A and B are shown apart, each in its own frame.
Chain A
């Protein structure tokens, strides 16, 4: 399974704007690069990223080959309640990875 790094503040005040940073290891092969025989290397990328906060979707991104290797995404949300943030990546060749992080809201 691909290694993912997630940065979410572990504690937040209710209604506070929090920044979420995610990074996942994946080489994001574009499908446009030729190999040493001149044929293009088949595309192998992450195509979709979804973040859910206690089951409710707060951020979704559709990725294309123009996203650099090891896709890094930062975005924001409002800390509404304590619970779990769930992160899910899906991609070519059946790629799938998920992570969860807990957050305490006071």
Chain B
């Protein structure tokens, strides 16, 4: 019962503090209303911002991520798109999104015919067991996606210092 009372109080204080911080930094109110975690809806909104009204088809792209992650602080991620990467048929960009991290965006890379192979790798943070989606934008304006469900045992991002 006691914990039930503490939780909203800290949350309220967090919001007030964030608002004060946002004001001080001149960052506007967007920080103050930032949700504690991205939701499937905010991920869809982030994807909409990238693809616009275009439809996203499954395929031509592959996410390589371990299905069971012990430590969400540094998870190796590889995204590979199928494309000949010639001057008239190449991948323009690849975007990666998550469902439950504090922000849906993870990384956006811009490629071109000079890349030779539409593949990149990095290490990411994952705050929870969730769905990770990658979307590739081709030079002809089509969008292709792949998604993967991962289980995270130790979450990143939200722990204290």
Chain A residues at the B interface, C-beta cutoff of 8 Å = 17-18, 30, 32-36, 38-42, 53, 56-69, 71-78, 80
Q: Give the residue of A42, A75, A78 whose beta carbon is less than 8 angstroms from that of B119.
A: A75
A24 to chain B, nearest CB (A): 12
Q: Which of B59-67, B97-105, B144-152 contacts A (4 or more CB under 8 A)?
A: B97-105
> Please, which residue of chain A has its CB at the minimum distance from the CB of B120?
A75
Decide: A67 near B157, CB < 8 A? Known: A42-B21, A75-B115, A75-B120: no
Chain B residues at the A interface, C-beta cutoff of 8 Å = 10, 13-14, 17-18, 21, 25, 73-75, 98, 101-103, 105-112, 114-117, 119-126, 156-161
Q: Evaluate contact between A59 and B73: CB separation under 8 angstroms.
A: no
Q: Evaluate contact between B123 and A36: CB separation under 8 angstroms.
A: no
> Please, which residue of chain A has its CB at the minimum distance from the CB of B114?
A58
Q: Evaluate contact between A66 and B107: CB separation under 8 angstroms.
A: yes
CA distance A39 to B160 in the complex (A): 10
B115 to chain A, nearest CB (A): 6
Decide: A64 near B105, CB < 8 A? Known: A74-B120, A76-B115, A77-B115: yes
Judged by DSSP, the binding face of B is mixed
Q: Evaluate contact between A64 and B107: CB separation under 8 angstroms.
A: yes
Decide: A30 near B107, CB < 8 A? Known: A17-B117, A35-B160: no
Q: Give the residue of A32, A53, A67 whose beta carbon is less than 8 angstroms from that of B114.
A: A53
Q: Give the residue of B98, B102, B114, B160 whose beta carbon is less than 8 angstroms from that of A30.
A: B102
Q: Evaluate contact between A61 and B101: CB separation under 8 angstroms.
A: no
Residue numbers in B under 8 Å from A42 (CB-CB)? 21, 25
CA distance A77 to B85 in the complex (A): 10
CA distance A72 to B109 in the complex (A): 13
Decide: A61 near B117, CB < 8 A? Known: A38-B14, A40-B17, A67-B123: no
B85 to chain A, nearest CB (A): 8
Q: Evaluate contact between A33 and B159: CB separation under 8 angstroms.
A: yes
Decide: A72 near B123, CB < 8 A? Known: A58-B114, A60-B109: yes
Q: Evaluate contact between A65 and B17: CB separation under 8 angstroms.
A: no
Residue numbers in A under 8 Å from B126 (CB-CB)? 66
Decide: A66 near B21, CB < 8 A? Known: A60-B110, A76-B117: no
